[in-house]
Chain A
Amino acid sequence: CDIPISSRQAFPLPSLPRKQPTVLVVCGPAQNGAIGLVCARHLRIFDYEPTIFYPKRSPDPLYRDFTTQCEKMDIPFLSYLPTEVQLINDAYNAVVDAVLGAEGEAGEGREPCAAILATLKHVRIPIVSLDVPSGWDAEAGGSGGLSPDVLVSLSAPKQCARRFLGRQHFVAGRFLPYDVQKKFELNPPEYPGTECVVALRAPR
């Protein structure tokens, strides 16, 4: 459960264009989606107004509890994702993409992920992707996939992060023991002070 603790801190506190600090959190069926649920809960604690779209719910009891926690905190769950992109642009300040992560995304071609991604590709509000922009291959990156504004790499950037062209790239998930870091030659950046999120320098 450590990953989510960091994810929520990656959200900068920009001056949001809309009066209400609304954020749409789109959660896929597996772990990436579960992280999105935890992220939504912390956003609520930070006084944002998250709304969740979680069409395919995992049967995992841990993830079901995450859902309950969100529901009990009055975070609304959409019953469908508008295909009319303008509705999303108008209602929310940003979208959190917690649809698919790095775990071998056979899910990409399957519904409902394919339809979700097709819609998200056309939103004009910023997208924040958790770990891997959904639909991207974790190593090769994506062509014609999502172009997120912000990427939050969990634990360490994945190979595909080299192709990230958005505004801000954060690393979060400050829990890797040193011997694990060394063993996998991760060389994560230094986290400042007690922060659990660190901004990476822009590429190039």
Chain B
Amino acid sequence: QEEAQAIDQELFTEYKFSVDQLMELAGLSCATAIAKAYPPSSFTTSRPAVLVVCGPGNNGGGGLVCARHLKMFGYEPTVYYPKRPNKPLFEGLTTQCQKMDIPFLPEFPAEAALIDELYGLVVDAIFGFSFKGAVREPFGSILGTLERTTVPIASIDIPSGWDVEKGKADGLQPDMLISLTAPKKAAMHFTGRYHYLGGRFVPAALQEKYALNLPPYPETDCVLQLT
């Protein structure tokens, strides 16, 4: 977890990347990976409806970007975003989604069965690699419901609620994991079908410094399928 935070810090302070830049590239990777693993034609719901659940931090911001690109790719995303930071970046991302007619739910579906009926996929953009400690409401209940859904869940970077290094045996079991920048230790406990790498922006020098040993991305793709 510390290494991931250190890499991020270097990208922002040494390389002068903005949070906006990296979040945009990360969110685009997520949408791209989802589109590869779950093309619209594969949905059993009548429309390619996707529920994107966004948490209170950067992982949630990535979810907003992802939702917007999913819309451009022909999906019908709906966002649930209960805790919104008071910062221009997140306000901007929210506006972009709203202006693209992406609905924001006023409340979270009460039953797992309702989610299963309405959506073909759930994107878990609740907590990321900075997550530590106890899960605060409303996310505890949300995760509880998500643990009972049967539709596939795609988690951004870390399955929400998992310890970033040790995982969580009785927690969320997503079908897809999109690791950003490099897989975190928790990824070793991932047992879903699809593991993708995204966030193709790490300069070679940083990769070497932190011995990331990332396999090469294909051509100009922004995602790489690991399993």
Residues of A within 8 A of B (CB): 1-2, 5, 8-9, 11, 13, 44-46, 62, 64-65, 68-69, 72-74, 174-175, 177-179, 191, 193-194
A45 x B201 contact (CB < 8 A): yes
Give bound CA distance, A95 to B212, whole Å. 32
Q: Closest chain B residue to A196 by CB distance?
A: B28
A8 x B28 contact (CB < 8 A): no
A194 x B15 contact (CB < 8 A): no
A174 x B16 contact (CB < 8 A): no
The smallest C-beta distance from B100 to any residue of chain A, in angstroms, reads: 5
Give bound CA distance, A195 to B127, whole Å. 28
Q: Which residues of chain A are within 8 angstroms of B113 by Cβ–Cβ distance?
A: none
Q: Which residues of chain B are within 8 angstroms of A45 by Cβ–Cβ distance?
A: 200-201, 203
When each residue 23-38 of chain B gets 1 if its CB lies under 8 Å from chain A and 0 otherwise, what string results? Answer: 0110010011001100
Question: B87: CB under 8 A from chain A?
Answer: no
When each residue 198-209 of chain B gets 1 if its CB lies under 8 Å from chain A and 0 otherwise, what string results? Answer: 001101110000
B16 x A74 contact (CB < 8 A): no
Q: Which residues of chain B are within 8 angstroms of A193 by Cβ–Cβ distance?
A: 35, 73
Question: B42: CB under 8 A from chain A?
Answer: no
Number of interface residues of B (CB under 8 A): 25
A1 x B15 contact (CB < 8 A): no
Q: Which residues of chain A are within 8 angstroms of B213 by Cβ–Cβ distance?
A: none
A194 x B100 contact (CB < 8 A): no
**A45-B200, A177-B99, A194-B73 given; A5·B24 CB < 8 A:** yes
The smallest C-beta distance from B204 to any residue of chain A, in angstroms, reads: 8
Give bound CA distance, A74 to B99, whole Å. 39
B15 x A68 contact (CB < 8 A): yes
Give bound CA distance, A191 to B14, whole Å. 36
B20 x A1 contact (CB < 8 A): yes
Contact among B18, B35, B201 for A65, CB-based, below 8 A:
B18
Contact among A64, A65, A175 for B72, CB-based, below 8 A:
A175
Smallest CB-CB A-B distances: 8 pairs: A65-B16, A68-B16, A194-B35, A194-B32, A73-B203, A177-B100, A72-B15, A9-B220
Question: B107: CB under 8 A from chain A?
Answer: no
**A62-B18, A74-B205 given; A8·B220 CB < 8 A:** yes
Q: Which residues of chain A are within 8 angstroms of B205 by Cβ–Cβ distance?
A: 72-74
Q: Which residues of chain A are within 8 angstroms of B200 by Cβ–Cβ distance?
A: 45
B220 x A5 contact (CB < 8 A): no
Give bound CA distance, A16 to B179, whole Å. 33
Contact among B17, B20, B204 for A69, CB-based, below 8 A:
B17
Q: Closest chain B residue to A45 by CB distance?
A: B200
**A1-B24, A5-B24 given; A194·B18 CB < 8 A:** no
The smallest C-beta distance from B75 to any residue of chain A, in angstroms, reads: 11
Q: Which residues of chain B are within 8 angstroms of A174 by Cβ–Cβ distance?
A: 72
Q: Closest chain A residue to B28 by CB distance?
A: A5
